[in-house]
Amino acid sequence: MNAADTPLYLDATQPISARVADLVGRMTTEEKLGQLLFNAPAIPRLGISAYNWWGEALHGIARNGRATVFPQAIGMAATWDRDLLERVASAIADEGRAKYHATLRRYGETGHYQGLTFWSPNINIFRDPRWGRGQETWGEDPFLTGEMGAAFVRGLQGEDPRYLKAAACAKHFAVHSGPESKRHEFDARVSRRDLYTTYLPAFKKLVTEAKVEAVMGAYNRTNGEACCASQLLLVDILRGEWGFQGHVVSDCWALNDLHTTHGVTNDPAESAALAVKRGCDLECGQTFEFLDEALARGLLDEHDIDRAVTRIYTTRFKLGMFDPSEQVPYASIPESVINCAAHRQLAYEAAVKSIVLLKNENAILPLRNLRSLYVIGPTAANAEVLMGNYYGLSESLTTLIEGIVARTPEGVRLEYRPGTLLLHSPASPSPWTMASASRSDVVIACMGLSPQMEGEEGDAIESPVNGDRVEIGLPAVQVDFLRQLKANGARVVLVLTAGSAIALGDVADLAEAILYVWYPGQEGGRAVADVLFGDVAPSGKLPLTFPYSLDQLPPFEEYAMTGRTYRYATAEPQFPFGFGLSYTRFAYSDLRLPATIPAGAALPVQATLTNAGGMAGDEVVQLYLSKVEPAPGDPLYTLVNFQRMHLAAGETRTLDLIVAPEMLATADDDGRPAVQPGAYRLYVGGSSPGTRSATLGAPEAMDAEFLIA
């Protein structure tokens, strides 16, 4: 074919919009309808290969063989490190590109989980620790979620002005966080104020600032409308208020719920038509197979189909799928990047920075001058607790026991026994366990939860409620075992794996130190061991509040924010949002900010941070805002900025931070944001405001009032 015969859609010098219009114009109606399915068939006459849109990359390329397994999303949220997240996502995209092109070279097309469209990140708000899928999120705060999610999107999609490295997807839009057992039928009722203050800000940031390529609708209804066919969410807000230019995909088989469990339509043809007309462009499921019937019945027209096909093909062109590989900068990424040494080291860095030190009585950590060490517990040799859910597979998983064994110096007597089970009482308890534990200098008890106990419906096979948790405490069999250890005189360092908050209550008194390590990825064992032995100081901060018990929480199905998260709860938590200790000691001083700023202006903040301890370490400086006289419905506190800092022992740094004008605004009952004149208080510290942080040993925070005129 000479240049004169080249179709416009194959001419890489032309604008993408013109190329897409040319290609869509060459398709028959039947061909267009096929392309709106997630497993789109080939169109050989146009040179279009079959393409499966379904890919996952939550914390590494998932469900497609070998990949670097990074810490679960909630663990990476505990790093509070935007730069790290962008580097992690870029590494994930590199591996996805390498795997995609290797598959194309071998088979000429890609299949399920082998494409470049990744349905990540999950930026729903983790409003209740009972939600099993909360581990996939960036925590309970909309600002932290938006910042971390945006960094992830930037890393995944790359910086090339013409091509996407991969296509990210913000999910699940919107107001979606359980219960899992009712997600196909549930109607999340929420006020406009809560909608715009809590549930939408992260989505807005990813759409308007990070330019996320795709948005996935949620299974549930929100205020009566099915999310995957919502006038308010998809038309008025997403494309209207925010000007979204990408494509919308349904959650898997969610459109079937429109006519079955939600009852907003009467049959599959009506569901398919309503979804397309409201702006759902691509379906994961089979309801769009009825679009031909919908057309025949006049429920939608060819223009609606063309619009959807245009949107999804714009994404495929931006991924370079119709251009010569030598013109696509990401097409030459070699297979050798997959789980390479640099990516393994990045996974280690993420795991180290995610670990949160909740307690360190008598400075038992870091471990030094030991003669004997006893490792016990059901998660110590458990590889599943490294991976979380939506995971890839690695040939180099390092369990907790493997990491501890590799790091323990010779001459220190080291023993290991499982001791107890995660959830069930042992059939034959060992009589040797307690005696060995009591004779050891320190017992490292590896306990907590596993992905079998919390996750998505169908995955968490130990959950009696489709992946959610009924109770949020440590399982009773583990509590009983810890009590026995304490009664026998063991000095316990408790290492907890989990994807959500565990309400420890008085169980926290049974251990001298508590490390919360989440589901830490393939390098988790090495990272935990290095923190235990003091090769690096712990620096993670909680991305969600840890309550004392369920008694402090509203009902799970209640989506109103009253009484939830650090922003609205008045009950004192066991461990506050933003909290995390270190082996060194940080001190804040010299807070400076203007006495008055005009409405619409940014707030400059200056403070001094000193590492007053004897060890280098990282501190996450956090800025919170509150009204001196809050109105009903206003948040008690709002995170408005943060910065992770590394300081050598004895080092002092001056911090210059900005609170953006939009962070000073408050939404009214209609959801409209406005900067309200009046007196405000700004807090600067290493945890969210409140007396609990100080009693737990967090650095004393500073605060100052200012006026917005």
Provide the token pair at 522. 């393939």
For residue 623, the cross-strand partners are 641, 684
| Angle formed by the axes of helices 302-318 and 16-26, nearest 10° | 130
How far is it, in rounded angstroms, from Cα 413 to Cα 527? 21
Flag whether pLDDT at 3 surpasses 80: no
Nearest to 181 by CA among 452, 464, 561: 464
Confidence of residue 354 (pLDDT cuts 50, 70, 90): very high
> Could you tell me if 692 and 359 are in contact, meaning their C-beta atoms sit under 8 angstroms apart?
no
With residue 191 as reference, give the H or E element that holds it: none
**pLDDT interval class at 456 (50, 70, 90):** very high
- 3 state SS of 315: helix
The counts of H helices and E strands in the chain are: 19, 24
Residues 446, 497: contact at Cβ < 8 Å?
yes
**What is residue 700's predicted lDDT score, i.e. its pLDDT?**
86
Q: What share of the chain is helix, strand, coil (3-state, %, to 5)?
A: 35, 20, 45
Other residues' Cβ atoms within 10 Å of the Cβ of residue 617? 20
Q: Which segments of 328-409 does DSSP mark as H helices, in order?
A: 341-354, 384-387, 400-407
In the structure, what pLDDT confidence band is assigned to residue 4 with cuts at 50, 70 and 90?
low
- The set of residues, in sequence order, having a beta carbon less than 8 Å from that of 248 and lying 6+ positions away, is 173, 214, 215, 216, 217, 234, 238, 279, 280, 281, 282, 311
- Does the structure show a pLDDT above 90 at 263? yes
Which percentage of the chain shows pLDDT scores above 70?
99
Q: Among all chains, which residue has been given the structure tokens 């715009």?
A: 196
Q: Considering the chain, what is the average pLDDT of its residues?
A: 97
| Mean pLDDT on 243-271 | 98
- Single-letter amino acid, residue 9: Y
Average pLDDT value for residue range 415-421: 95
Res 430 pLDDT > 90: no
Distance CA 107, CA 52 (A): 14
**pLDDT class for 699, splitting at 50, 70, 90?**
confident
Q: How far, rounded to the nearest angstrom, does the alpha carbon of residue 211 sit from its chain's CA centroid? A: 18
**Tokens found for residue 494:** 């408790």
For residue 219, what is the DSSP state? Answer: S
C-alpha distances in Å from residue 128, one per residue of 552, 556, 664: 11, 7, 26
Average pLDDT over residues 66-93: 98
Report which residue type is found at 247: H
State residue 2's pLDDT score: 55
pLDDT digits (tens, 9 = 90+) for 32-72: 999 999 999 999 999 999 999 999 999 999 999 999 999 99
pLDDT of residue 435: 87
Q: Which residues are catalytic?
A: 251, 454
Domains of the chain: 30-337 (3.20.20.300), 355-544 (3.40.50.1700), 586-708 (2.60.40.10)
Task: Give pLDDT, residue 458.
Answer: 87
Alpha helices by DSSP H, listed for 108-141, are: none
At CB < 8 A and 24+ separation, what contacts does 700-703 make?
Answer: 700/587, 700/588, 701/588, 702/588, 702/589, 702/591, 702/607, 703/591
Asked if omega into 174 is within 30° of 0 (cis), the reply is yes
**CA–CA distance, 34 with 402 (Å, rounded to integer):** 49
CA 199/CA 561 separation, integer angstroms: 10
Predicted confidence at residue 13, as pLDDT, reads 95
Q: CB–CB of 249/53 below 8 Å?
A: yes
pLDDT at 468: 98
Contact 122, 171 (CB under 8 A): yes
Q: How far apart are CA 235 and CA 278, in angstroms?
A: 6
Tokens of 170: 């913000």
pLDDT digits (tens, 9 = 90+) for 395-412: 999 999 999 999 999 999
pLDDT of residue 222: 98
Please list the residues that pair with 497 across neighbouring strands: 448
User: 60: Cβ–Cβ under 8 A, 6 or more apart, which residues?
Assistant: 67, 68, 69, 70, 92, 95, 391, 392, 521
The rounded distance, in Å, linking the Cα atoms of 394 and 229 is 38
425-429, 565-569, 578-582: the lowest-pLDDT one: 425-429
Pairing of strands 372-376, 413-417: parallel
Three-state DSSP state, 417: strand
* Token couple for 653: 């740094």
- Please state whether the peptide bond connecting residue 661 to the residue before it is cis, i.e. omega within 30 degrees of 0: no
pLDDT (0 to 100) of residue 314? 98
Q: Are 98 and 48 in contact (CB under 8 A)?
A: no
487 CB-near residues (< 8 Å, 6+ apart): none
Buried-exposed string 307-319: b where 16+ CB fall within 10 A, e elsewhere: ebbbbbbbbbbbb
Confidence band for 159, pLDDT divided at 50, 70 and 90: very high
336: its two tokens: 């050798």
Task: Determine how β-strand 221-222 pairs with β-strand 187-188.
Answer: parallel
The yes-or-no verdict on residue 511 having pLDDT over 80 is yes
> What is the crossing angle of helices 268-278 and 302-318, to 10°?
60
Short-list 146, 144, 166, 163, CA closest to 155 = 166
The C-alpha atoms of residue 482 and residue 479 are separated, in whole angstroms, by 5
Joined together, the tokens standing for residue 297 give: 């019945």
Tokens of 324: 């010569």
Partners of 188 in the beta sheet?
A: 222
Q: How many CA atoms lie within 13 A of 38 on its CB side?
A: 27
Q: How far is CA 636 from CA 182, 632, 655, in A?
A: 31, 10, 25
